[in-house]
Structure 1
Amino acid sequence: MTVMALSLDRHDVILNPYPLTGPIGITLGLAPWLIGGTALALHDPFDHAVFVQQILTTGATVTALPGTVLDRLLEDGIVTDPQCALRHVGRVCAAPNLGDRLAVEAPADRGGFELYPLGDLACLIEGDSKRLGRGTLPSGVFQIADHGEVTAFLETALVAGPEPDTKDIAVRGPLIPKVRAAEDATRDTGARDARNFIATGLRGEMRNGRLAVIRDPDLVYHGGFTIAASELDGLYQAFPRFLDAACFVLPDPVMGDRIFAAVVPDPSMPVSLAALRDFLNERSVASYKLPDKLLIVRTIPRDAGGRILRDQILKQI
């Protein structure tokens, strides 16, 4: 879909700042490289100065970035620099409502587009229509025209969520898996419904005829991945040097959410972030589920029902 949506060919060079193992990296990098024969330049982990140098020296014609990073490139004149060969500049709307804060427009000759990761099921690319309300998805059938032929790749809709009075964004189409992998599902959304839709695990609502992702307190939005917070809790709690543990997040302009581990250590045992990471790596836990930092706390706050009160964790410091 990326090749058709952006009219890419073997002369294009994609500068991809996302891991190829995630939904954004596959859509922006791996798939067009394999299918369209484009050149692929990788940039991970993200370093702003190095990325700017790559834009100006690799001949990159396509890239996509979180809106805050792209805004900085536009404001600094990087995108309009004579050495910049970019002809497609995309904004990645990976965290709920992230797009609502964006203001700077890419030049008309740079082929602006927006990229929306839909959980672990798909990504959607849409041309930049310079809307006032960014970060919203088209509702209904998403089509791409190629040489006069129109192909329907994806259809989006709202379906009943797992809790009363909630709605989930669901998708169906020829490229959508028949079922989600159980180990990757953020909720019990593995099966298709009677209309053949499968839920993405993203909570949503309608805004002016379009779909908007709204934050779910039980999910973590990290670099295009959507992760159940309870899954991270279980991973960190399994470390034998901890008496208790939980994840919490802080906002990050590039990744959406930065992941941290709050832990109550066993006082008789040494504890470190490196030791926790080694433990998780030995169990083949995906790298995007590893915490960036470790915070030692007295207790993990919970309500009467045992639910972790993540907003209370930092108040212990």
Structure 2
Amino acid sequence: MTTPPNASPTLDGLFQRVLGRQPEALALIDPADKMRVTGTAPMRLSFAQAERAIAALTAHFIEYGLPANSVIAVQMPNTVEFVLTMLAAHRAGLIVALLPQLWRQADLTIALNRSGARAIVTSSKIDGVSHADLAMNAAAEAFSIRYVGGFGQDLPEGMVSLDDVMAADFAEPVTVPADARRAAIVTFDVTADGFRAVPRSHLHLISGGLSVFLESGLPQGATLLSALLPSSFASLAASLVPWLLSGGVLALHHPFDIEVMEREINAAACDVLVAPAPLAQRLAEAGLLDRTPTLRHVLGLWRAPEQVASSAAWDHPQATFTDLYLFGEAGLFGARRAADGLPATIMPGAHGAPRAVASSSIAGEILITPKGTLGLRGPMVPAVAYAPTSESGNSLVSGKAIDYVDTGFAARLDRSTGAICITAPPIGIMAVGGYRFLSQDLSEWAKRLGQNAMLTALPDRLSGYRLAGRTSDNARARDAFTELGLNPLMVEAFRDRPAAD
């Protein structure tokens, strides 16, 4: 497939541009412990090898009759197969719905029905959990699903082996013409109004990734190690898109084995680390940068951006540190720290990429809404997906059309500097790492366990919140929540504590 020279690029278009320049260059590296995670051997693919696998998967999706612009749901670990599947789906004209790895049958069924997915792709096992069985059970409850595919061994009956597809001969497919304005992904968020699907175009994705790439000052040909699960807009904007923009190497790490991560950085001579910011700061304080001399850039993602202002100074001059402020699936912005190591001042209004250059192109706009919350708008922000709409389809607030997303994060302006201060997360929403849910759901889930059961969220510096539970029989509570198909974070809230000495 070729893209007209003046057309806006898609993700696959960016890949093909790099492929045309350096087909034999190394492109993708699997996690070193992939055998433990999925039971399959790790791969190292050049751009030409990746292209062959992408073309084979593309031909397969088209041959199976998945119509253009239909949704293919993907629940996979941070491995090479995810990247290949996503690029192949786009080349086949499909929209990729990203399903978080921690989701179990209850969450999966809601997401599949909400997005109207026609297909689902997963791995046989991830960290010992049979995701193939989860996918088959969820597909049985989603009437729109017509195709289920998987990578790995011992796939259940009815699931197509995509490893066999990549290894087999195929006819070059007739692909759908590329259109960057077309929806590329669907992610899932929770707001005060509840669960919602958030579609994004290729332009949204590339705008977000370009702002990260330029603000952090990543070099061409960079080797990035991404320790992010591929289930959100932020994970793609901070890893997959910068890789394609730099034309370098994307090394993948399945979170989090610190010793394995260190070996991977040194083995691939990575110069960029992409990881949750609290973890990256802890690793730096523990001497990681001294043991990984090639690292020059660290991109730290803050899923609780209200924590940035109180974070420790970055006292590691051998590597720059860029704070990436994340606001659910609404959007993000980045700010590279200066020589003093302190978080950069965030001013309201339009900001460029890179932020320090006044003449740079506009990456977005930050504002304080009339409700005293932080709002975002710009080329990466899908405003229509968040706001209530009128019959004509315009996004409305109090009857007026808007073009921004209210993130729900409480914010104010500093009286002396005019800078934005983010003070609190959205009311009524809990976030454990990248998993967001309504606080009222905790009490509803606890009620299913009977009287005297409690499930609550406690503040946690690393993940925002952590879950804790109490009941008269923890083992029974774990079994009940597992049977209900709830997220393992809920199940493990009722883990047994060691007896005090």
Global fold match (TM > 0.5):
yes
User: In the aligned structure 2, how far is the partner of 1:242 from the partner of 1:180?
Assistant: 37
User: In the aligned structure 2, how far is the partner of 1:148 from the partner of 1:118?
Assistant: 25
Question: How far does the alpha carbon of each residue in 1:27-83 deviate from its partner, in whole angstroms, 9 at most, with x for none?
Answer: 2223324554443233333233333333333322212444443333333332133x4
User: In the aligned structure 2, how far is the partner of 1:289 from the partner of 1:191?
Assistant: 35
The two structures have a TM-score, normalised by structure 2, of: 0.47
Give the gaps of 5 or more residues in structure 2.
1-209, 388-394, 497-501
Identical residues among aligned pairs (%): 20
Residue 149 and residue 67 in structure 1: after superposition, are their counterparts in 2 closer, same or farther (change >3 A)? Answer: closer
1:43 matched to 2:243? The reply is: no
SS in 2 for 1:41: strand
SS in 2 for 1:55: helix
Deviation at 1:219, TM superposition (A): 2.4
Matched residue, 1:294: 494
Within 5 Å, which residues of 2 pair with 1:1-317?
Answer: 1=210, 2-8=212-218, 11-81=221-291, 83-129=292-338, 134=343, 137-144=346-353, 150-161=360-371, 167-180=372-385, 191=396, 194-207=401-414, 208-216=417-425, 218-224=428-434, 226-234=436-444, 236=445, 239=448, 241-242=449-450, 247-261=455-469, 271-280=476-485, 290=490, 292-294=492-494
Q: Which structure: greater strand fraction?
A: 1
Question: How far does the alpha carbon of each residue in 1:285-314 deviate from its partner, in whole angstroms, 9 at most, with x for none?
Answer: xx5874541279xxxxxxxxxxxxxxxxxx
Q: Which structure: greater helix fraction?
A: 2
User: In the aligned structure 2, how far is the partner of 1:122 from the partner of 1:288?
Assistant: 27
Residue 132 and residue 88 in structure 1: after superposition, are their counterparts in 2 closer, same or farther (change >3 A)? Answer: closer
User: In the aligned structure 2, how far is the partner of 1:135 from the partner of 1:6?
Assistant: 13
RMSD over equivalenced CA pairs, Å: 3.7
Residue 292 and residue 6 in structure 1: after superposition, are their counterparts in 2 closer, same or farther (change >3 A)? Answer: same
User: In the aligned structure 1, how far is the partner of 2:339 from the partner of 2:354?
Assistant: 20
Q: Is the 8 A contact 1:69 1:253 kept in 2?
A: no
User: In the aligned structure 1, how far is the partner of 2:213 from the partner of 2:342?
Assistant: 26
User: In the aligned structure 1, how far is the partner of 2:344 from the partner of 2:423?
Assistant: 10
User: In the aligned structure 1, how far is the partner of 2:423 from the partner of 2:464?
Assistant: 13
Query: Which stretch of the first structure deviates more once superposed, 126-135 or 149-158?
Result: 126-135
The two structures have a TM-score, normalised by structure 1, of: 0.69
Residue 260 and residue 280 in structure 1: after superposition, are their counterparts in 2 closer, same or farther (change >3 A)? Answer: farther
User: In the aligned structure 2, how far is the partner of 1:197 from the partner of 1:191?
Assistant: 10
Deviation at 1:143, TM superposition (A): 0.5
Q: Is the 8 A contact 1:155 1:172 kept in 2?
A: yes
User: In the aligned structure 2, how far is the partner of 1:28 from the partner of 1:70?
Assistant: 14
The count of corresponding residues between Structure 1 and Structure 2 is 273
User: In the aligned structure 1, how far is the partner of 2:340 from the partner of 2:482?
Assistant: 42
Residue 209 and residue 289 in structure 1: after superposition, are their counterparts in 2 closer, same or farther (change >3 A)? Answer: farther
Question: How far does the alpha carbon of each residue in 1:145-182 deviate from its partner, in whole angstroms, 9 at most, with x for none?
Answer: 59997211210111133xxxxx1111111221032358
Residue 104 and residue 294 in structure 1: after superposition, are their counterparts in 2 closer, same or farther (change >3 A)? Answer: same
User: In the aligned structure 2, how far is the partner of 1:27 from the partner of 1:99?
Assistant: 19
Deviation at 1:100, TM superposition (A): 3.7
SS in 2 for 1:272: helix
Q: Is the 8 A contact 1:120 1:225 kept in 2?
A: no
SS in 1 for 2:299: strand
